[in-house]
Amino acid sequence: MSPWRKEGSSCCGEGSKILHRYFRAVFCESPHDQPFPAMHGRMSGDQDAGCHCYILGTLENKTGIAEAQTELKKKVLHTVWEEVLRFPLTEEELPAGTLTLTLRNCDKFSRHSIVGELKLNLAEMKESFGKAQWERLKSPEKEPSTGHGEVLLSISYLPAANRLLVVIIKAKNLHSKQLKDLLGSDVSVKVTLRHQSLKLKKKQTKRAKHKINPVWNEMIMFEVPHELLRASSVELEMLSQDGAGQSHVLGKCSLGLHVTGTERNHWEEMLRNPRRQIAMWHQLHM
C-alpha cells in the first residue's frame, strides 16, 4: 500500500483509512512501523497509567453534523482498530461533506485530549473509495468556543408502541457569561414534550457531578401517538444548580419541524427512519 500524504503539513503520527462508496463507512488503524510521537517515550509509570485512546469521526454536511467513534484501546506504541464508523450520507450530500478523524487520549481521570486530526473533503475523495491509504495527522487545532456549549443526544420513534425515545448522551464546553460561579457545578437536562404551543410533559435527567463536560447516557421516554408526532417537539434546557439548590439555565435547544437548521434536520431524520437511534450535536443558546 503506497502512502498518500500532503506535503508541508505538521505531523503527529499517521493513520490509514478505507473510504467506501457513498461514504457509508470508515476503517481506521495506526501504522505498525511508526508510533504516534505523542505516544512515544516512557510508556510506564504514572504518566500513562490507565490511559486509553480512540478515534472520533465527525461528518459535517448541509443537513447537520453526525459523530461516531471507535472503542477505547489501551494506549500503546502501536494501536490498531479494526472497526467501522457509519454515517448517514446520500450521494447528493457527498460533494458538500467534510469528515474529520481525530485521535484522542483519555486518561484515568476521564480527561480527553487531542493527539492529532485529519480533515477530508469528500468531494475530493471519490477516487479513494474502497482503497486503503496512509495520511499524516496534523497537530490539533484548538477547539473553538461554541457560545453556551453543545449537547449530544439521540432520538428515535417506535411506531408500534407510540414511544418517543430521547437519549441525553453528553455535553461539552458549557459556559455562562452571567453565571461564571456556576461553572463546574452539578448539571442536569430538563426535557419538555410539546404539541404545538402546549406543554404536555417534562422529565429531567440525574445531575452530573461537577462537570463542565458532563456525561449522562440517560434515556427519557414519552408516549406520543403517531398522528401527533409531526406537530410535536422536544425542548432541552441545561440546568446548573448552585450551592443554595437554585437551578439556573445554562442553555437550551428545541427539536421539531417548527425550527430550522440541525434541530429541524434531526427531527426530520427521525421521522424518515422509525425505530432507528439518530445522534447529533446541537448548540445551546439562551
What pLDDT is recorded for position 137?
84
CA of 170: how far to CAs of 92, 198, 233, 234, 280, in Å?
30, 27, 20, 17, 11
Query: Are 270 and 284 spatial neighbours (Cβ–Cβ below 8 Å)?
Result: no
The reply to whether 14-136 and 150-283 are identical in fold is yes
Dist. CA 281–CA 271, nearest whole Å = 18
Choice among 86-100, 134-148, 184-198 with the minimum mean pLDDT: 134-148
Query: Are 208 and 188 spatial neighbours (Cβ–Cβ below 8 Å)?
Result: yes
Q: What is the pLDDT of residues 36-47, one digit of tens each?
A: 444 443 333 334
Rounded to the nearest 10°, the torsion over CA 104, 109, 110, 114 is -20
What pLDDT is recorded for position 112?
62
Residue 40 grid coordinates: 512515544
Dist. CA 122–CA 197, nearest whole Å = 40
Dist. CA 146–CA 246, nearest whole Å = 25
* CATH (residue range 14-136): 2.60.40.150
Instruction: Determine the straight-line distance between the first and last CA of the chain, rounded to whole angstroms.
Output: 51
Compute the average pLDDT of residues 111-116: 74
Q: Which CATH number is correct for 150-283, 1.25.40.420, 2.60.40.150, 3.30.1330.60, 2.120.10.30?
A: 2.60.40.150
- Report the mean per-residue pLDDT for the chain: 76
- How many percent of the chain have pLDDT more than 70? 71
Whether the per-residue pLDDT at 113 is higher than 80: the answer is no
Choice among 44-53, 83-92, 125-134, 173-182 with the minimum mean pLDDT: 44-53
Contacts of 74 (CB under 8 A, 6+ apart): 51, 52
More confident: 76 or 16: 76
What pLDDT is recorded for position 103?
86
Whether the per-residue pLDDT at 235 is higher than 90: the answer is yes
pTM of the predicted protein model = 0.52
What pLDDT is recorded for position 24?
34
Rounded to the nearest 10°, the torsion over CA 206, 210, 214, 219 is -10
Dist. CA 39–CA 105, nearest whole Å = 9
Smallest Cα–Cα separation from 153: which of 262, 258, 228?
262
Q: What is the pLDDT of residues 152-178, one digit of tens each?
A: 999 999 999 999 999 999 998 776 555
What pLDDT is recorded for position 10?
40
Whether the per-residue pLDDT at 150 is higher than 70: the answer is yes
Domain boundaries, the chain: 14-136, 150-283
What pLDDT is recorded for position 69?
77
More confident: 249 or 177: 249
Contacts of 285 (CB under 8 A, 6+ apart): 147, 148, 251, 252, 253
- SS3 of residue 122 by DSSP: helix
Dist. CA 172–CA 212, nearest whole Å = 7
Smallest Cα–Cα separation from 182: which of 155, 154, 207?
207
Contacts of 72 (CB under 8 A, 6+ apart): 52, 53, 54, 106
What pLDDT is recorded for position 175?
67
Compute the average pLDDT of residues 8-36: 42
CA of 15: how far to CAs of 11, 30, 102, 225, in Å?
11, 5, 10, 47
